[in-house]
Amino acid sequence: MPSEGVRREEILQTAARLFASSGFRTSLADIADACGILPGSLYHHFDSKEAIVVELVHRYHDDLDRIAKEALDTLHEPGARPVEEKILDFGRAIAACGVEHRAALLLTLYEPPMVAGDELAGLAQMPASIHDAMQELLKAGRKNGTIRAGINLAPLADRLCQSMLNIGVGVSHVTPGGELVPDLRIKILLHGISQRTPADSVLDRSNALRTARRAIESWDDEDDEADDRLTHLFAVARAEFGRRGYESTTMRDVAAAAGMSTGTVYRLLGSKDQLLFDIMSSYSQKVVGAWDAVVRSDSPPLAKVDALIWVAINVVDRFSDEVRISLAWMRQSPPSTPTSPSLGVFLPAQLRHVRALMASGAKTKEIQYEGGPADIRARCLLEAIWGAGSPVATVGIRGAHALARDTVLRGAAAQG
C-alpha cells in the first residue's frame, strides 16, 4: 500500500493532468477513477475538488515566487551580464513554470467562474512577485541605457510576464521550433519589428488605421438596429456566461438577471446553445470583418500591423464579455492540439495574414523579424498583436496603443 504522502501526491498529479485536459468541470469521481480508488477515499486527503485545485495553485505560485527571487538576485550578482540576457532568462523560467503547472495556470490565469469558491477566486491572478521582479529588471535596464526612456515600465512588465505565461495556455511550446517561442516573444517587445522607427503622425494617417476606425464605428451601427429587449437580453447573457462559465449558467440565471420570466427568455432567445451561438457569431463577424478590412486596405505592411493592433485593443475594450467567454472555453476545454476549436475560430486565417504581412514587409525592408520557422514567428507576432489589448483596463485604449507602438513596432530597448 502506498504511504499517505505518496497517495496524496498521486492524487495531485492525476488531478493536474485531468484539469489540464478537461478544465474545472473535472469531478472528484473522475479523479478517483483515474487514480483507481473509490471517490470516498479522496476525502481522506482532500475535502473538496476546490481543495485540490488550491493545493495545485499554491505549488504553482510558490514556484513563480522562487523564480522571481532568483531573477532579483541576478541584479546583485558580480559581473556585467547584460540586462536583456537576464530578462530572457527570467522569461524562459516563467514560460517553463507555466507549462509545468499548466492545470493551475489554466484555472487561474483568468478570473475563475462564480461557481469556484472564494479561496480559489482570490488566487486567480498573476502573482505580484513575477511582475515586480520583471519591473525591477526593466528599471535596471533603463538605468544603464538598455531600455529607452519614456516607456511605461509597469504595463510592459505585465505584458512580458503575461506573454510568457500564455505559452503554457496554447500549443506553441509543443510545435516544431516551440523552444524558441519565449525568446522570440520577448525580442518582439524589446526590439520591435520595424527596420525604421515609424512616427506616430505617419501611422495615424495610414489608410489601414482609417479602415480600422471605420470598421470599429460600424459595430455601433449594427447594435443600433437591434430590438431593445433582445439587446438587453444579449448583454445580460454575455455577462452571465462570462461570470459563471457557459456550463454553469442556466436560462433561469439569465432570466433572473434580466428581470424576466424564464418562459419569456426561451421564447425570445431559444435554447442556451443557440443563445451562445448567436452571441459569439455576432462577435466573430465583427472581429473578422474589421481584421479582413485592414488586411485588404491599401497600406504598407507595418501600418497594417499597427491597425490590427488597434482593432485588437478595441475588441478587448468593447467586447470584454465575449473575450471572457472565450477565455472560459480555454479554461473548461483547454486546447490540446493545434487544430482545437478552443484556440478560436480566427486563428488559421489570421496566421496566414500575419505570415503574408511579414513576408511582404521583409521584401520591402520594412519589417525585421528573423529566427525560427515562419509559423512560429507568425504565432509570436499574432500573440503580440492580440496581447496589446491586455493593458486596456489599466492604461486605456490609447495608452495600450502607445505601449504597443513603443514595443511591438519600435521596441522598448534602446537602439544600439
- The pLDDT tens digits for 251-265 are 888 888 888 888 888
Instruction: State the total domains in the chain.
Output: 3
Q: Is residue 416 part of a domain?
A: no
Question: What are the CA-CA distances from residue 168 to residues 331, 367, 390 (Å)?
Answer: 12, 28, 17
pLDDT number for residue 334: 46
Task: Please report, rounded to a whole number, the percentage of residues in the chain having pLDDT higher than 70.
Answer: 85
Contacts of range 235-238, beta carbons closer than 8 Å, 24 or more positions apart: 235/321, 237/269, 237/275, 237/276, 237/279, 238/279, 238/321, 238/322, 238/325
Confidence of residue 63 (pLDDT cuts 50, 70, 90): very high
Helix (H, G, I), strand (E, B) or coil at 21: helix
Q: Is residue 52 part of a domain?
A: no
Compute the average pLDDT of residues 38-46: 84
- Which of 69-73, 92-96, 237-241 shows the lowest per-residue confidence on average (mean pLDDT)? 237-241
Residues 125 and 257 in one domain: no
Q: Is residue 184 part of a domain?
A: no
Task: Please report, rounded to a whole number, the percentage of residues in the chain having pLDDT higher than 90.
Answer: 48
Residues 334 and 279 in one domain: yes
CA-CA-CA-CA torsion sign (107, 108, 110, 111)? positive
Residue labelled with grid coordinates 469558491: 117
Residues 21 and 62 in one domain: no
In DSSP terms, 367 is beta-bridged to 194
Residue-averaged pLDDT of the chain: 85
49-73 and 83-100 are packed helices; what angle lies between their axes, rounded to 10 degrees?
170
pLDDT number for residue 270: 82
Asked if the model's pLDDT at residue 111 lies above 50, the reply is no
Residues 242 and 381 in one domain: yes
Asked if the model's pLDDT at residue 121 lies above 80, the reply is no
Asked if the model's pLDDT at residue 335 lies above 60, the reply is no
pLDDT number for residue 373: 84
**Residue 164 in contact with residue 366, Cβ under 8 Å?**
no
In DSSP terms, 194 is beta-bridged to 367
Residues 282 and 159 in one domain: no
Q: Is residue 192 part of a domain?
A: no
Q: Is residue 43 part of a domain?
A: yes
Residues 232 and 352 in one domain: yes
Chain-centroid distance, C-alpha 182: 15
Q: Is residue 339 part of a domain?
A: yes
Asked if the model's pLDDT at residue 223 lies above 80, the reply is no
Residues 217 and 349 in one domain: yes
Range of the domain at 25: 1-47
CATH of the domain at 221: 1.10.357.10
Domain boundary, last residue among 116, 151, 169: 169
Residues 399 and 255 in one domain: yes
Residues 254 and 337 in one domain: yes
Q: Is residue 183 part of a domain?
A: no
CATH of the domain at 25: 1.10.10.60
Q: Is residue 105 part of a domain?
A: yes
pLDDT number for residue 331: 53
Residues 15 and 63 in one domain: no
Domain boundary, last residue among 150, 169, 188: 169
Residues 255 and 210 in one domain: yes
pTM of the model: 0.86
Question: CA angle, 163 as apex, 365 and 149 as ends, to 5°?
Answer: 65
Compute the average pLDDT of residues 285-309: 96
Residues 355 and 378 in one domain: yes
